[in-house]
Amino acid sequence: MKKRVTILTPVYNEEEVIELFHRAVTDVMTPLADRYDWDILFINDGSTDSSLEIMRRLQQRDPCVGFVNLSRNFGKEIAMLAGMEYAGGDAVVTIDADLQEPPEVIPKMIARWEEGFDDVYGSRLRKYPSAFRRFTSTAYHRLLAGISRDMDLTENSGDFRLLDRKCVDALIRIRETQRYTKGLYALIGFRKCPVEYDIKPRAAGKTKWNTGKLIKLAVDGITSHSVMPLRLASMLGIITSITAFIYLIYVLMKALIKGDPVAGYPTLMCVILFLGGFILLALGIIGEYLGRVFIETKRRPPYFVSEACGNFRDRRAEASDNDKKLRTEI
Ligand code: UDP
Ligand code: MG
């Protein structure tokens, strides 16, 4: 039996590019059709434009296309989780709809997969929209890799990658709702291998990320993979206390030995402001973690599906199959 490769694409307001994307992927995958079954699985992440209608049309015309329509916009990370749960392939290629990541790289990824690698990740040769983004992104990744030592973050890579079924099943088992998938790829391990590619400008449409969303993702990345900020807060607390203590002795000595009167107001003000700011910062950091705990303990389903069409993995059927198997075994 032929192995199946699922191309998984989250879509949020991409009406200008979906058809281009579909054509580009079809051109790349058709020559491989004698060796692999393949399909495209679009996850409509609450698009407000005509993306869903376009997907529906493509699905009716092309048996290789399937789509899952989420009940609203859940964000790319959750859309990818939904996609992985529905993807039926022995390998799943996650790729954006905007053709910034060239589908021509997919056959190279499949070749490496056949060599035995489980997580073949696209490694960007030229990547950033601006020098500022390059600086912030590199600094952030260094920081994250530094503070969470169990993670071996692969540099210059994003969500464009081929994952073996083993990796997909592992990612599905991680149920956190505030996901930083780039960290999760590192967390699950498995045999990794880079494939280089040149990132392109968007085929059409606009980027869905703004500074606010990027900051949220960055905070999620740190708080979901490390407790270093908490530790840092307590370290800073200790350092401040020790410094304050030394200063206290110095002031006391000066007053006792030299009989110097101490100017009270300015010193007091500095100390109060410094400590007040520091305490607020520490509280904020604790709050970030507490907020995550609060959200995760509610165990809400990460997403809701309003419709699914095409050749996807039917988890409800699988669950009831398992159920039957269990019952016959008992
Ligand atoms: N996307 C999504 N949900 C969102 C935002 C983005 O599914 O809330 C999808 C989007 O349609 C695209 C991919 O995620 O296929 C990457 O988005 P984009 O190209 O805007 O990000 P960039 O490449 O600029 O980082
Ligand atoms: Mg893009």
Query: Residue 111: what pLDDT?
Result: 92
Query: Residue 50: what pLDDT?
Result: 92
> Cβ(15) to ligand 1 under 6 A?
no
Query: Residue 130: what pLDDT?
Result: 76
Query: Residue 126: what pLDDT?
Result: 65
Please give the number of the atom of ligand 1 that sits closest to the Cα of 208.
20
Query: Residue 231: what pLDDT?
Result: 81
> Cβ(100) to ligand 1 under 6 A?
yes
Task: Say if strands 36-44 and 65-70 run parallel, antiparallel, or are unpaired.
Answer: parallel
| Residue with CA closest to ligand 1 atom 24 | 207
What's the gap in Å between 14 CA and the centre of ligand 1? 9
Query: Residue 6: what pLDDT?
Result: 93
Task: Say if strands 3-11 and 36-44 run parallel, antiparallel, or are unpaired.
Answer: parallel
Q: Reduced to 3 states, what is the DSSP secondary structure of residue 238?
A: helix
Query: Residue 321: what pLDDT?
Result: 64
pLDDT in tens, the chain (330 residues): 889 999 999 999 999 899 999 999 999 999 988 899 999 999 999 999 999 999 999 999 988 899 999 999 998 999 999 999 999 889 999 999 988 889 999 999 999 999 999 999 988 876 666 778 778 878 887 777 777 666 666 667 788 999 999 999 999 988 888 888 888 888 888 888 888 888 777 777 777 777 888 888 888 888 877 778 888 888 888 888 888 888 888 888 888 888 777 677 767 877 787 788 778 888 888 888 888 888 888 888 889 999 888 877 766 556 566 656 655 555
Mutate to test the pocket of ligand 1, among 47, 208, 214 (most ligand atoms within 8 A of CB): 208
Task: Say if strands 157-164 and 3-11 run parallel, antiparallel, or are unpaired.
Answer: unpaired
Q: How many residues does the chain have?
A: 330
Please give the number of the atom of ligand 1 that sits closest to the Cα of 73.
8
> Cβ(101) to ligand 1 under 6 A?
no
| Residue with CA closest to ligand 1 atom 16 | 96
| Helix residue spans in 49-88 (DSSP H) | 51-61, 76-86
HSE of 46 in the Cβ direction (CA atoms, 13 Å)?
12
> Cβ(76) to ligand 1 under 6 A?
yes
Please give the number of the atom of ligand 1 that sits closest to the Cα of 12.
11
Contacts of 288 (CB under 8 A, 6+ apart): 219, 223, 229
The model carries a pTM of 0.76
Please give the number of the atom of ligand 1 that sits closest to the Cα of 97.
15
